[in-house]
Amino acid sequence: MTQKSIWARKDLLGLEDLSREELEFILTTIDSFKEVSTRDIKKVPALRGKTVVNLFYEPSTRTRVSFEVAAKRLSADVINIVAESSSIIKGETLIDTGRNIQALKADIIVLRHSFSGAAVLLARNVDISVVNAGDGWHEHPTQALLDIFTLKEKFGRIEGLTVSIVGDIAHSRVARSNIWGLTKLGAKAIVCAPKMLIPPAIEEMGVTVTSDIEHALKNADAVNVLRMQFERDSQDAFPKQLEYFKNFGITRERLEKAKKNILVMHPGPLNRGIEIASDVADGPKSVILEQVTNGIAVRMAVLFLVAQGRKKK
């Protein structure tokens, strides 16, 4: 790094806690790691001799693989622990599991957990670094960072952009992290969903709320389409799939009424024909696969930074 590091945190738990300066610093750091993946030999020694443990209490392929690829391109050793095959089902607590991983002299735990606040709990109870790879409905900071990084690549700035987040806002950690990140960096965030999927008082997070998809798309520079998880939670009210597509699905017709250069983003995996039409997902406005590529650079940067943060302590 030529720039002086302002990063001092051992963990990345969410974007809510971060200052604008820290966010900008991460984005700059991502820039410098992006080039690595374009090389013939896609590896740098930044985390050589470090051990990264992916501790996943929820099934996830894309986030886990992205973190694994990122860690390996930094030359770290990677261990994957998934809920089914660990002592979790034997009743070991999260803190005990974390302390065991620490006792193995691992350096970073990447945690995916179905309970909100799990990463905060773990980080408070271990000395090694914790990166939140999604906790319940709370935050998914690296996903939001890759969304924001992709926007910055395309528009050259975040300040002044309008980004609409469409889908199940109530149960979305991606939405929350995006809202914090975007608003801190000076973008306008709009959330759009059926009323039952808008959590109470979300305006207080600094977003505009609408249930009108045309309105949400009208002045947007980008639309971030969330995955609709119809299999989720029977106790919460949920719309019918087809009805949802009719009222909120991102289609070519709807995009024709939007800004000409509107970007379409999606954290994946896609439900084609439910929240997004196939021709849109595969169309020229879509940056969905670029997001996946950027995800590697984002996670390389984050792993690198938290490892530095730890050293300073």
Q: Which stretch binds other proteins (CB under 8 A): 40-48, 64-72, 199-207, 295-303?
A: 199-207
Stretch that binds other proteins, among 65-73, 81-89, 93-101, 261-269 (CB under 8 A): 93-101
Is residue 173 involved in binding other proteins (CB under 8 A)? Answer: yes
The residue among 96, 98, 52, 59 whose CA lies nearest residue 75 is 52
User: Which stretch in 78-86, 130-138, 142-150, 260-268 sits in contact with other proteins by CB under 8 A?
Assistant: 130-138
Closest approach, Cβ 236 to other proteins, in A, equals 9
Interface with other proteins, residue 205, by CB under 8 A: yes
Rounded CA separation 190/164 (Å)? 5
Alpha-carbon distances, residue 305 vs 47, 79, 129, 186 (angstroms) = 10, 19, 10, 23
Find the part of the chain contacting other proteins (CB under 8 A) among 158-166, 201-209, 243-251, 281-289.
201-209
Rounded distance, CA 150 to CA 291, Å? 6
Our finding on whether 113 is near other proteins (CB under 8 A) is: yes
Separation CA 16–CA 210 (nearest Å): 22
DSSP H stretches of helix in the chain:
20-34, 62-73, 94-103, 118-125, 141-155, 173-184, 213-218, 241-248, 252-256, 278-281, 288-312
State yes or no: is 112 an active-site residue: yes
Active site residue 195: no
Told to check if 227 binds other proteins by CB under 8 A, we report no
Q: For residue 72, give both structure tokens.
A: 């390996």
Cβ-based nearer residue to other proteins, 91 or 156:
91
Residue 264 CA from chain centroid, whole number: 16
Greatest Cα pair distance in the chain? 57
Residue 252 CB, shortest distance to other proteins, in Å, is 33
- Residues in binding contact with other proteins, number by CB under 8 A: 26
User: What are the tokens at 289?
Assistant: 């696969």
| Residue 28 annotated in active site | no
Instruction: Please report how close the Cβ of residue 229 comes to other proteins at its closest, in angstroms.
Output: 14
* Cα separation, 305 vs 142, whole angstroms: 13
For residues 116 and 212, what is the distance between their CA atoms, to the nearest angstrom?
A: 29
- Tell how far CA 274 is from the center of its chain: 21
> Of residues 1, 8, 95, 242, which one binds other proteins by CB under 8 A?
95
Asked if 201 touches other proteins (CB under 8 A), the answer is: yes
Q: Applying CB under 8 A, which of residues 12, 18, 118, 263 lies at the interface with other proteins?
A: 118
Active site residue 51: no
The catalytic position among 10, 73, 113, 140 is: 140
Tell me the Cα Rg of the chain: 19
| 138 is a site residue for other proteins (CB under 8 A) | yes
Q: Is 90 a catalytic residue?
A: yes
**Residue 78 parent element (H or E):** strand 77-82
Identity of residue 74:
L
- Residues 11, 58, 107, 139: which binds other proteins (CB under 8 A)? 139
Q: CB under 8 A: which stretch of 61-69, 117-125, 153-161, 263-271 binds other proteins?
A: 117-125
Catalytic residues: 62-63, 90, 112, 140
Residues that bind other proteins (CB under 8 A): 16, 93-95, 113, 115-118, 120-121, 125, 135-139, 173, 176, 199-202, 204-205, 235
